[in-house]
Structures are given as C-alpha cells and as structure tokens.
Amino acid sequence: SLCFPEKLWKMVASDRFRSLWWSQGGKCVAIDEGLFKEEVLAGGGPLRVFTTQNMRSFIRQLQKYGFSKVQPDGPRSASLPEFLAEEAAASAHSQILHYYNPSFCRDHPQLLTSCKRR
C-alpha cells in the first residue's frame, strides 16, 4: 500500500481525476475543493483513494506531510492543461487550493522518499 504522498502524486499525475492538477510548472498541487469533495472524498466507488471523507482531515494530512498552502503567484499557467483546469474552476466559482512541498514535484518523483510524516 502506498503512503499518502505517493497516492497523491499518482492522482495528480493521472488523467482520471479532474479535481487536482499540477500548477506553477509542476511545483505545486492545485485542488478544486468542491470537485475534489465530490470526486474523491464522497462515498466509495472506483476513484476512492483515501479513507477520509472529510476535507479538513485531508488538509490535515497534507500539513502532516509538510505541505503548506500557497497563493498562486504571478501570471496564469503557461501550460494548456493547467490553464484549462484553472479556467474551468474559475468559471464554476470553485475554490482552488494550492499546496507546496519541496519534495513533491512533477518532474522529480524520486523526491517522494523524503516526503515524511512529521
């Protein structure tokens, strides 16, 4: 069984989930809170990844693994998938949460081994 950061990394890297994606050039994970609750946390089903159904518990897990909430800085995303995800979320008036951890990066999955629970 995978640890929390490994599960999260696989989800962000996957095309199966519309509620989270890489942002800021693959250095942060962006989460569409409303869609994430619906798609990942609500009920069971094949997309069930985490044991919790509560957003606050999920965010607490992020924090336990050293993720910190950040504000998206500067211009909009340059990559088309990131831009489209941000546009779709903005048009739906969803809250987009951005979390950063130096050991959680799109182009460096090997860093996940240093992403430890505090």
pLDDT band at residue 95 under the 50/70/90 scheme: confident
Grade residue 90 by pLDDT with cuts at 50, 70 and 90: low
Q: What is the pLDDT of residue 59?
A: 95
Q: 4-74+81-114 — its CATH code?
A: 1.10.10.10
**In the sheet where 68-70 sits, what is the strand order?**
20-23, 28-32, 96-100, 68-70
Q: What is the DSSP string of 76-110?
A: PPSSHHHHHHHHHHHHTTPPEEEEE-TT--TT-GG
- Distance between start and end Cα atoms, the chain: 19
Contacts of 15 (CB under 8 A, 6+ apart): none
- DSSP 8-state assignment for residue 37: I
The model's pLDDT over 1-59, given as tens digits with 9 standing for 90+, comes to 789 999 999 999 998 888 999 998 899 999 999 989 988 898 666 656 888 889 999 99
Determine contact, residues 98/28, Cβ cutoff 8 Å: yes
Domain boundaries, the chain: 4-74+81-114
Q: Are 10 and 16 in contact (CB under 8 A)?
A: no
Quote the mean pLDDT of the chain. Answer: 85
